[in-house]
Structure 1
């Protein structure tokens, strides 16, 4: 039985595995390394994060993005976006040098067993571990507007479903959303000859500005320090003190998690959008249907209530992710049902990233409601890996395994105050 099973081999899973191995734990990692980045992002996309905020984490800090670029004869420069292809290759290099061998099979299900957990891979093999770290990324949590559900993947998809946009050449595509995923997807579509429009609920698009020089006069740096999530003291707090964020009142954390670092386009994509993409603001889809091989969208407008109804060949929903425990479908129902959650259905995590089910640890987007916006970005991987492995070591020193917050009879609401799951 392994000390730790890591489910997921993206930036968080690989970082956790590296720290676990460095701590002398017997660890097994499952998943295709960097799969979300390699399989779910179109060629030509870039990271919004600065290169120095895009590092995976190893205990000795030897395998950062800048080192990978240096060895390849390039340089990771502040203010110059990193391509998805470069970042994916960096992650593979990190996995090769800083992580125990990765089992590229996917875990199909995870259940409790005597002494820990039992993971079943897609080909039917079972592997046991005393603890588990779920680092499943964002793909299980895709959010598509209700009006678009049920139309079929031929007509509706999520922005994270596309590695290749070539299938839309010469087509008419409508992209829903006003954030970076929507705007960059639309720009790439327009540049390959697709007729594309962006439909956004907001009154106007928000754009990030060109970052100031990394080295600045001290007065400027004090007024608005750099951080992995952008300039300013508020972003610095979210980026550098996620443990402090967790100590905020639950209502405050919920408000910040829902609103901080909202939809915005990167400065380097603005001209590409404004020069080649039709943008419809103050509009959202009311109903959608398929007729004669096309999608008909009925659109609600602003205060007037009306909108330009139209037909399109395909709708891409760049509408984000909703990390609820209900979407952790690989968990056995009794384990998933015992997780303490907040009012939005998002699972709580202890100070060491342990869920309310002892021995089951969480990482990445699913912990943003506990630790803040940094968990939505690669920036959060370093803090997570160190703290989580510390928690795993503590968990290994205690037993038995079992739910500390039992599921209530009759399937009633499982929302539990944060204090109930503090360690």
Structure 2
């Protein structure tokens, strides 16, 4: 029986695995490393976060993004966005060096069992563990507006469904949304010859400012310090003190979760949009139906619009009900907060003892940093401490497993399928 199963091999899962391995836990990691970055983002996109805020986390801080870039004769400088393909390659490098092997199979089911949990892989093999860390990223939480749901994938897709936009060359595409995914997708489409427009509900687009120099006069740094989420004391608090953020009253956390760091375009994509992409503001799709040659959209405030394809760059909504890999009896018992996401304790443990959560699904508890790679550092160290506490306490009905402890009960690593 394993001490910990890590389900997911993106920035959060790999960081958790690195810390768990360093702590001496008997560990198994499942997932295709950096799958979201490799399979769901087209070439030509860039990280919105600063390079220094995009490190995966290992306890010795050896396998950082800047170290990867330096070893390949490139740079990771403040104010210079990193291509997503470089970041994905960095994640693979981190996995090879900081994580003791990754099983690339997909976990399709997780259920409770005496002493912990059992996980079933796509080919039917079953693994037992005392604790589980779910770091499943954003893909289970894809959000498509209700009017567009039910239309076939050849007419409507989510922005995260594409690693290659070339099939839209010369076609007519409408992008829904006003954030970075919408604006950068539209820019890439326009640059390859697609007839593209953006529809946004907001009355205006928001654009992030060019970041100020890393080295500034002290008075400027004191007024608006750098942080992993941007300049300013409020962003600094979200980025650097998620443990304190969790102590805020739940209504305050809910308000921040719904308003902080809302949709905005990066400074380096602004000119590419404003000079090439028609943007229709204050418009919302109310109904959509298939018509010969594409989709007919009824748009509040503008009337009908026909287009060949719709890309919904409408983000993600993390909720308990979308954790489909959890068995019904497990998922249904998880306590939730107001937005429907699972409640988590101070060390990312859910209301089910031994089940830990990481990433976007914890943003309501620990703040906006959990929506970005930057949050992986706090999460990894804190979550692994929580796993060790849970192992010392023991899972109800099961054996106690503490690396280096005075006693340990071993069990087979796998159970019969």
Q: Same fold (TM over 0.5)?
A: yes
- The aligned residue for residue 223 of structure 1 is 223
SS in 2 for 1:378: coil
- The aligned residue for residue 101 of structure 2 is 101
For residues 7-26 of structure 1, the aligned pairs below 5 Å read 7-26=7-26
Residue 293 (structure 2) pairs with residue 298 (structure 1)? no
User: Offset of 1:241 from its aligned partner?
Assistant: 0.1
Structure 1 residues 383-409: Cα deviation after superposition (integer angstroms, max 9, x where no partner) = 00000000000011123348xxxxxxx
- The aligned residue for residue 415 of structure 2 is none
Check whether the contact 1:359–1:401 (CA below 8 A) recurs between aligned residues: no
- The aligned residue for residue 381 of structure 2 is 386
Structure 1 residues 255-313: Cα deviation after superposition (integer angstroms, max 9, x where no partner) = 00111000000000000001111100000101000011310000002xxxxx1411101
For residues 352-367 of structure 1, the aligned pairs below 5 Å read 352-367=347-362
Residue 4 (structure 2) pairs with residue 4 (structure 1)? yes
Equivalents in 2 of 1:248, 1:162: separation in Å?
Answer: 38
- The aligned residue for residue 76 of structure 2 is 76
- The aligned residue for residue 236 of structure 2 is 236
Residue 341 (structure 2) pairs with residue 336 (structure 1)? no
Check whether the contact 2:254–2:338 (CA below 8 A) recurs between aligned residues: no
Structure 1 residues 127-184: Cα deviation after superposition (integer angstroms, max 9, x where no partner) = 1111000000000001000000001111111111100001111110000000000000
Residue 305 (structure 2) pairs with residue 310 (structure 1)? yes
Equivalents in 2 of 1:357, 1:401: separation in Å?
Answer: 11
Equivalents in 2 of 1:236, 1:196: separation in Å?
Answer: 36
Equivalents in 2 of 1:189, 1:313: separation in Å?
Answer: 14
- The aligned residue for residue 53 of structure 1 is 53
- The aligned residue for residue 254 of structure 1 is 254
The TM-score normalised by the length of structure 2 is 0.94
User: Offset of 1:344 from its aligned partner?
Assistant: 1.7
Check whether the contact 2:253–2:364 (CA below 8 A) recurs between aligned residues: yes
SS in 2 for 1:103: coil
- The aligned residue for residue 85 of structure 1 is 85
User: Offset of 1:324 from its aligned partner?
Assistant: 0.2
Check whether the contact 1:206–1:264 (CA below 8 A) recurs between aligned residues: yes
Equivalents in 2 of 1:109, 1:293: separation in Å?
Answer: 40
Unaligned runs of at least 5 residues, structure 2: 398-417
Structure 1 residues 316-370: Cα deviation after superposition (integer angstroms, max 9, x where no partner) = 0000110000000000001000000012211111000000000000000000000
Structure 1 residues 96-141: Cα deviation after superposition (integer angstroms, max 9, x where no partner) = 0000100000000000111111100001111111100000000000
Check whether the contact 1:183–1:273 (CA below 8 A) recurs between aligned residues: yes
Check whether the contact 2:208–2:265 (CA below 8 A) recurs between aligned residues: yes
Check whether the contact 2:284–2:299 (CA below 8 A) recurs between aligned residues: yes
Equivalents in 2 of 1:63, 1:45: separation in Å?
Answer: 23
Unaligned runs of at least 5 residues, structure 1: 302-306, 403-423
Structure 1 residues 64-92: Cα deviation after superposition (integer angstroms, max 9, x where no partner) = 00000000011101000000010000000
Equivalents in 1 of 2:68, 2:360: separation in Å?
Answer: 26
For residues 279-290 of structure 1, the aligned pairs below 5 Å read 279-290=279-290
SS in 2 for 1:255: helix
- The aligned residue for residue 327 of structure 1 is 322
SS in 2 for 1:390: helix
Equivalents in 1 of 2:59, 2:386: separation in Å?
Answer: 15
Equivalents in 1 of 2:334, 2:363: separation in Å?
Answer: 16
- The aligned residue for residue 399 of structure 1 is 394
- The aligned residue for residue 274 of structure 2 is 274
Equivalents in 1 of 2:326, 2:292: separation in Å?
Answer: 40
SS in 2 for 1:238: helix
Equivalents in 1 of 2:42, 2:251: separation in Å?
Answer: 37
The TM-score normalised by the length of structure 1 is 0.93
Residue 202 (structure 2) pairs with residue 202 (structure 1)? yes
